[in-house]
Amino acid sequence: MSHPARPPLILGSSSPYRRELLTRLRIPFDVAVPDIDETPLAGESPEATALRLSRRKAEAIAARHPDALVIGSDQVCTLDGAQLGKPGTHERALAQLQHMRGRTVTFHSALCLLDARTGAAQLADVQTLVTFRDLPDAELEAYLRLETPYDVAGSAKVEGLGIALLARVESDDPTALIGLPLIALIDMLRQAGFPLIGSVA
């Protein structure tokens, strides 16, 4: 149940990582899973892909919940201008990690807060630079077998053992790499007049 002063807040995501992050703000929210095509468009930049998909996810949920504030988020991992998606399999994950070792990868974590009542949307793209350690295949294989990170872009869960693969993380928003930039989201919620700290739950 939402406090009367608040519109319902809905996280449009199937990600357990985003759900856990949003829980940290101690505000009531529901979760709904958007059903959209996440294929990048031809010639689309990584930033544009992430922003478009974050908005499309929010719009898909807002269409079913016209009184809500809806959060959409999407993450795109890039190296040498090419997008690296969710690997899906052990073999693809190993190939990703081999390609990234010793190099710096850019993660675009896009965020959309859509007010379904008015159609007003706030958008942000938070970039994180991640430098991977130059590790041998045996360590990469061992990591993949221990954590099976086949559902995350870039094949490394920074919130888990994946931190052992990283030499450096540079970002203005420490939760962006996990998938939901909370500093940017708090800015958006405040702009939307959504009560945060000190409000009655």
In a 10 Å sphere around its CB, with 0-12 CB exposed, 13-18 middle and 19+ buried, how is residue 186 labelled? middle
d(CA 78, CA 104): 9
Helix 90-100 to helix 137-147 angle (10° resolution) is 130
Cβ–Cβ < 8 Å for 164, 91: no
d(CA 32, CA 13): 6
d(CA 83, CA 67): 35
Q: Hey, which residues are catalytic here? A: 74
d(CA 28, CA 26): 7
As beta bridge partners, residue 71 has: 11, 113
Which residues are CB-contacts of 16 (< 8 A; sequence separation ≥ 6)?
none
Tokens standing for 82?
A: 């090419």
CA angle 120, 31, 15 (to 5 degrees): 105
